[in-house]
Amino acid sequence: MEYLEEYKKWLEAPYVDEETKKELRAISGDLDELESRFGKRMKFGTGGLRGKMGAGTNRMNLYTVRMATQGLAEYIKKQGAAGKGVAVSYDSRHGSKDFSREAALCLNANGIVTYCFNSLRPTPELSFAVRRLGCIAGIMITASHNGAEYNGYKVYWQDGAQITAPRDMDIMQEIEKIQDCRYAKTMELETARKAGLYCEIKEEVEQDYFREIKRLSLHPESIELMANQFKIVYTPLHGTGLKPMTRLLKDMGFHMVYVTEEQAEPDGDFPTVAFPNPEVPDVFSMSLSLAKKVNADLVLATDPDADRLGAYVKEYESGSYYALDGNMTGILLCDYILNQKKRLGILPKHGAVVKTIVTTNMVIPLAKEYGVDVIEVLTGFKYIGEKIQEFHEKGSHTFIFGFEESFGCLTGTYARDKDGIGAAALLCEAAAYYRQQGSSLWKRLMELYKKYGHYQSCLRTEVKEGADGSREIGLMMAGLREHPPRTMNGRRVRKMRDYLAGNILDCRTGTWHRLGDGIPRSDVLYFELDDDAWCCVRPSGTEPKIKYYYEERL
């Protein structure tokens, strides 16, 4: 059995450390576990690596990180860009600091300079640093909102966005060539430092990151007027957000920020939550208790790498707190930006809001009122980042705002990935502005529903673990393609977009048409329904799940 041969190779390899071998010896008789760890190699997907930590070819460890980095290094050298360097950062997960250093030293051993943060930082700050330092690429060690047993490795390119086609496939091919860890280079840290290859990122980079976010403020006078009465509760969920969030809010003028102490410090065990994900209401229980105690106006949470933002807002008449999902937060921020920029006379011509295909269509009539185009991209914030670069190169649009339903927003072009820190800054300002006007975020949302219609969205997921689960998901997607449903939730299916085949089926006539040029291929089915409703089905790109998205206008 091949997996046992690979297991034996790791046990006998001189380059595998003794602690790893000890872990492997402890599972010597567990064939299921050995097959899980060595039955395949961890796949470098379109966003990088993500998986459970542990020893083995199908686990996140120093060796799989080193092999992926060697492949990235080979690609960078082939581009003739080794001299530009690579920015490296990490979050609060177990192993993150070690993985980031291992990645940097592998690059250094290949003659590529690395710029590393001296402590954990949010993903959007890494995205900013790539462009600020003029790097060819960036590496972020994080598994985002996954459980404590996971870690991951995300690759960014020189535009500050995660890699997209065809570059992602080209990098994957280079990584696939590294079939054994002994072919991945490394060097000692002190040697790399003395050679000028391993460099620390200076404090001024973070200061510039904060400065760019603060430049997006539209009503700083509202913050000043409300500074001593507007109260914010914040939890970083044991992640990277504590220092940057509290520092930024203080710099902006918010004096009354309360941190949920039980969840304040970085901790890879995430001991107070089942999953460190602000999309899960349970993670807010401690923060809501604190909010009621201090009579807070707004409750915020970010995930471990602080690119996602969750929020509860206060409705003042009842004193109740209401959860905002990702669509609600996006709509409130988009409305605030467009409305206030128009009032201030700074709304750009040829402006664009970019959203993913599974994000609410409520933004379409909202943007139309302000003469702003809405541009759709596939699921994944990297496609929003890609559009920003495209706008810059072609001069076709001015990017105003980007968001996705999975609690990700970007309020400017300073970064090219979703930013929970930046989104929180503007959401706090908007809340203070509405409070000054005798209103609230919740009241404003109800006004928008009344004006544009109440768009109700929902997401259902099915977990399908292991190889059998992967095959089952494949069969489910194939079945939908071969036999498209005639109705969904009582509504007739009008069209089916198949993003893998690049076709659109008109279900009323049975005729096929091509999707537009330049749309990437992806295993996604999108069903247009009567009454402006829609349903989208896709396998998760990072977890063993199939996801069903649905929206209707009430």
Residues belonging to the active site: 144
Distance (Å, whole) CA 535 – CA 520: 19
CA angle 271, 328, 164 (to 5 degrees): 75
Cβ distance 385 to 418 under 8 Å? Answer: no
Place of tokens 């913050």: 223
Report the length, in residues, of the chain. 554
Cβ neighbors of 217 (< 8 A, separation 6 or more) are 223, 252, 425, 426, 429
Q: What DSSP line would sit under 85-115, residue for residue?
A: -EEEEE-SSTTHHHHHHHHHHHHHHTT--EE
Secondary structure (3-state) at 147: coil
Which residues are registered as beta bridge partners of 545? 463
Distance (Å, whole) CA 119 – CA 111: 24
Beta-strand relationship, 351-356 and 309-315? unpaired
Distance (Å, whole) CA 365 – CA 352: 13
Read off the tokens for 451.
């004006």
Other CB atoms closer than 10 Å to residue 211's CB: what's the count?
12
Beta strands in 217-292 (DSSP E): 231-235, 256-259
Distance (Å, whole) CA 257 – CA 299: 10
Other CB atoms closer than 10 Å to residue 447's CB: what's the count?
12
Q: What DSSP line would sit under 514-542, residue for residue?
A: EPPTTPPP-S-EEEEEGGG-EEEEEE-SS
Place of tokens 């006078």: 221
Distance (Å, whole) CA 538 – CA 545: 9
Q: Torsion-angle region of residue 141: left (phi > 0), alpha (psi -120 to 50) or beta?
A: beta
Type of residue numbered 55: A
